[in-house]
Amino acid sequence: MNNKSLRGSLLLLLGAVIWGVAFVAQRMGMDSMPPLAFNGIRMLLAGIALLPVIAFADRKEPARKPATAEQKKDLRIAGLLCGTLLFVSSSLQQVGLVYTSAGKAGFITALYVVLVPVISWTVFRRNPGRVIWLSVALAVAGLYLLCAPAGGEALNRGDLLVLGCAVCFTGHIMVVDHYAPRVDGIRLSCIQFFVCGILSMMLSVPTEAITWEGIRGAMIPILYAGIMSGAVGYTLQIIGQRDVNPTVASLLMCLESVFAVLTGAVVLGERMTAGEGIGSVLMLCAVVLAQLSPILSRKLKKA
């Protein structure tokens, strides 16, 4: 693993920690606000938080070569696509959190770890290799133990909504993988937040009851979900993915589910069963194996 790849992996891991804690903040926010309004406000806050960062970066590098017309076009397209996918996935997740636990939502969301290599292979003909496929198999087993309903009960409404979020977030990862090396990462992150926030509020205003009292009651979750999970977390994803294989990136980011469970246990008192604990260990093994894949792949070729 070269220095750039290691740096990208560490950025994605930090993003996973931030997102894992955010599941608890999002769940707590539902005590005071409707889901779409919460999402809209936090996404707009995330976009606003990045504006001074962009201004500072421009002042720091005034001699930087201006973007070409093609790069500006790519940035607009990428921002619109990422923002729309983020709107759909985050809305499904936020509504789903009304009906399911923060920890379980974190692990179901992490199903994108399975979908990313499948799409990469079927659509783009990118075979990630045997070691990565083994990592995916371990992740599937782990996710099954974590998400399989006990006693033969069906998945609840919240589980199914969060499952839809995982599908949409898979598309988000693939779009970021395509555009991140070609556009400014912070600007892309900023645009997607404004697109997502505007779409969320357009749907929220006519369908939900929004009050100042509710906003004040959810202020701390909004600030964390907007600034940390939004502005910081998704920017880390876009910058980190530049130098990391998308399948490995998805495995790293799926660790958010582990941190979601840990934070849910500490803050909300949620508890895991023995099977869920084994599932967590399998997912951790999958991520470690994915990080060792370049070394293991070379050894397999020599064998």
In terms of C-beta density within 10 A (0-12 exposed, 13-18 middle, 19 or more buried), how is residue 294 classed?
middle
CA–CA gap between residue 124 and residue 115 (Å, rounded): 13
Asked, for residue 143, whether it belongs to a domain, the answer is no
Cα-based angle 12, 198, 242 (whole degrees, multiple of 5): 25
- Given this model, what pLDDT does residue 207 score? 92
- Given this model, what pLDDT does residue 64 score? 61
Asked, for residue 191, whether it belongs to a domain, the answer is yes
- Given this model, what pLDDT does residue 155 score? 61
125 in the Ramachandran plot: left (φ > 0), alpha (ψ -120 to 50) or beta? left
Q: Which long-range contacts (CB under 8 A, 24 or more apart) does 151-158 make?
A: 156/99, 156/100, 157/96, 157/99, 158/95, 158/96, 158/97, 158/98, 158/99, 158/100, 158/105
Could you read off the pLDDT tens digit of each residue along the chain, which spans 303 residues? Answer: 577 888 888 898 898 889 888 878 888 888 888 989 999 999 999 999 989 888 887 777 665 666 778 888 989 999 999 999 999 999 998 888 888 777 777 777 777 777 777 777 777 777 777 877 888 888 778 877 766 655 555 567 888 898 899 889 888 888 888 887 888 888 998 999 999 999 999 999 999 988 999 999 999 999 998 899 888 887 888 788 888 877 677 777 777 777 877 787 777 776 777 877 788 788 778 777 776 776 676 666 666
- Given this model, what pLDDT does residue 300 score? 67
Total structural domains within the chain: 1
Asked, for residue 158, whether it belongs to a domain, the answer is yes
- Given this model, what pLDDT does residue 55 score? 86
Length of the chain counted residue by residue: 303
Does the pTM exceed 0.85? no
Asked, for residue 22, whether it belongs to a domain, the answer is yes
Asked, for residue 246, whether it belongs to a domain, the answer is yes
Spatial CB neighbours of 176, under 8 Å, sequence gap ≥ 6: 78, 82, 188, 237, 238, 241
- Given this model, what pLDDT does residue 21 score? 86
Asked, for residue 195, whether it belongs to a domain, the answer is yes
Going by C-alpha positions, the residue among 11, 64, 31, 43 that lies closest to residue 202 is 43
Asked, for residue 14, whether it belongs to a domain, the answer is yes
- Given this model, what pLDDT does residue 47 score? 93
* Structural domain harbouring 198: 3-58+68-129+151-260
Asked, for residue 282, whether it belongs to a domain, the answer is no
- Given this model, what pLDDT does residue 65 score? 67
